[in-house]
């Protein structure tokens, strides 16, 4: 396969300049203090349609032969790519059809339609939608717009790297959320040609990490199973085109767990005032989970925030998960004597150490309880991990049997 040339990136940048936002770099004091290095966030969550995807989609569709325009384009996606294709096709005056899983979130469905696409919901997964999209392309002549596995898509995504290098010329490390690989491949290409000293690191979710094994064996390898809240980077196998670029330009890959992802999302909201989806927070999660030593950071860092299209219902659950992971919620089951005043005394002890009750349920009928015992299921708000430990220590010192709930 022929790697994209520097001229391809420059051409994509010229093509995209009139239509794509030059997204800002936002300094993160909290991450800079934690790592000891300057950390800036490249905010692609503020891009058109809420992610970096329109860059590659527009570059791909704009480069189609004129003869292909009348047949339109087709794509399969559960979210960001769907919106990117719909917006890009409409901006270019080309008809678009998008196949999405039946379970796709309502906000993403509504946004994709609002950007001008005809949307069909098919099957339970993106793979089902992809099969339907390919069948549609075969029958209608529509051009399939792949989310990452095409040189024009990689060249379009590379403009993220071109921008951040112009905005942050002293950058030493770039962290990039990694799914199929188009964004990582594009940024690695830019750094190879213009700043070869910069380390480029892709970040995958632990439970959806196809890249480490693929890089080990030297070719894309499919996962047998994956499950992560970061659906934007939940891709079962790296793309052939991105893989060649990532392998050639020696980009590194690390993984992060679900607690790190939710904690990063919460940090972005609280400290940077950015609404970010779980996949979009992966680069921040890597800084939190691995630290500068684990990542080999030696200078200023840019963490790419790749998207902000998060379902409000998922966001609510993510905030709760992130608070718990960060020691801000403590869920417990506490055994107390089944006597008048016992519940009040236990709550007074919790109040004494400065915790605030969030939710509580009292039971006297559990089969595991002695005849003179009751159990309280309680969630309290704490001020971090140290305070959380103080609450537990105080309750146990007062003679209560406490079981922490994960």
Contacts (Cβ under 8 Å, ≥6 apart) of 43: 23, 24, 25, 26, 274, 305
Q: Which two tokens stand for residue 227?
A: 């499950």
The catalytic position among 53, 96, 214, 262 is 53
Q: Among all chains, which residue has been given the structure tokens 């039971």?
A: 363
Q: State how far Cα 286 lies from the chain centre.
A: 11
Q: Among all chains, which residue has been given the structure tokens 């994960």?
A: 406
Q: Is 53 among the residues known to form the active site?
A: yes
Q: Among all chains, which residue has been given the structure tokens 């196809």?
A: 210
Which H/E stretch holds residue 380? Answer: strand 373-381
Burial 2-26 (b: 16+ CB within 10 A, else e): eebeeebbebbbebbeeebeebeeb
- Burial degree of 95 (CB within 10 A; 0-12, 13-18, 19+): middle
Beta strands in 18-127 (DSSP E): 25-27, 39-43, 73-76, 96-100, 118-121
Which residues are part of the catalytic machinery?
Answer: 53, 306
């Amino acid at each position: 396969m022929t790697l994209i040339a520097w001229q391809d990136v420059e051409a994509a940048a010229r093509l995209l300049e009139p239509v794509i936002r030059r997204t800002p770099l936002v300094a993160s004091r909290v991450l800079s203090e934690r790592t000891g290095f300057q950390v800036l966030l490249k905010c692609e969550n503020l891009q058109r349609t809420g992610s970096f995807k329109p860059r590659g989609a527009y570059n791909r569709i704009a480069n189609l032969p004129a003869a292909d325009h009348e047949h339109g384009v087709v794509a399969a996606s559960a979210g960001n790519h769907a919106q990117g294709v719909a917006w890009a096709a409409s901006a270019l005056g080309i008809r678009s059809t998008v196949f999405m899983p039946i379970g796709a979130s309502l906000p993403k469905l509504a946004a994709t339609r609002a950007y001008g696409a005809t949307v069909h919901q098919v099957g339970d997964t993106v793979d089902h939608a992809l099969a339907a999209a390919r069948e549609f392309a075969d029958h209608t002549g529509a051009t399939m717009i792949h989310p990452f596995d095409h040189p024009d898509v990689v060249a379009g995504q590379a403009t993220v790297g071109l921008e951040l290098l112009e905005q942050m010329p002293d950058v030493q490390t770039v962290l990039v959320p990694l799914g199929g690989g188009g964004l990582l491949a594009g940024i690695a290409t830019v750094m190879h040609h213009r700043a070869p000293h910069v380390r480029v690191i892709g970040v995958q979710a632990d439970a959806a990490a196809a890249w480490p094994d693929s890089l080990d064996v030297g070719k894309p390898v499919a996962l047998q199973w994956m499950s992560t809240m970061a659906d934007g980077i939940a891709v079962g196998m790296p793309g052939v085109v991105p893989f060649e670029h990532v392998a050639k330009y020696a980009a590194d890959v690390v993984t992060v767990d679900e607690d790190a992802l939710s904690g990063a999302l919460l940090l972005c909201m609280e400290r940077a005032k950015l609404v970010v989806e779980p996949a979009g927070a992966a680069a921040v999660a890597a800084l939190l989970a691995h630290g500068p030593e684990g990542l080999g950071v030696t200078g200023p860092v840019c963490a790419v925030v790749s998207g902000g299209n998060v379902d409000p219902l998922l966001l609510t659950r993510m905030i709760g998960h992130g608070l718990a992971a960060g020691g801000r919620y403590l869920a417990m089951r506490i055994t107390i004597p089944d006597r008048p005043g016992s519940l009040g005394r236990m709550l007074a002890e919790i109040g004494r150490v400065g915790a605030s009750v969030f939710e509580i349920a009292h039971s006297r009928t559990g089969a595991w309880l002695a005849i003179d015992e009751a159990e309280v299921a309680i969630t309290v708000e704490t001020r971090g991990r140290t305070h959380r430990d103080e609450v537990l220590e105080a309750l146990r010192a007062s003679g209560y049997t406490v079981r922490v709930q994960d």
